[in-house]
Amino acid sequence: MENKKSGHQYAITQLSKHTNVYRGFSIIKCPRTTLNPITRYRVSQAGQSYGLFDALALATGYIDNLYTVRR
C-alpha cells in the first residue's frame, strides 16, 4: 500500500485468516453474513477502536490520515 501524499510504502502483514497489521494498527476482517451482506474491517490499536470500514483500502487510508494529522 502506498501513501500517495508522502510517497512511502507500508506493508499490510497478515497474522491470521481475519487479522492484518498495518502501521501498528490491527485490522480485523468481519466476514459477511446473511444479516450483514458486506465484509467489514474493524481498526483498533492497544484496545482503542477506531471504527468499522467497508473496504480494506478505506481502513488503511484512515490509518494513513491519522499519521498525517498527528504530524
Residue ranges of domains in the chain: 12-70
Q: What is the pTM of this model?
A: 0.84
46 C-beta neighbours (distance < 10 Å), count? 7
**Cβ(43)–Cβ(37) below 8 Å:** no
Dist CA 8 CA 2 (whole Å): 6
Task: Please tell me the least confidently modeled range out of 6-15, 29-38, 59-68.
Answer: 6-15
pLDDT digit string, tens, across residues 35-57? 999 999 999 999 999 999 999 99
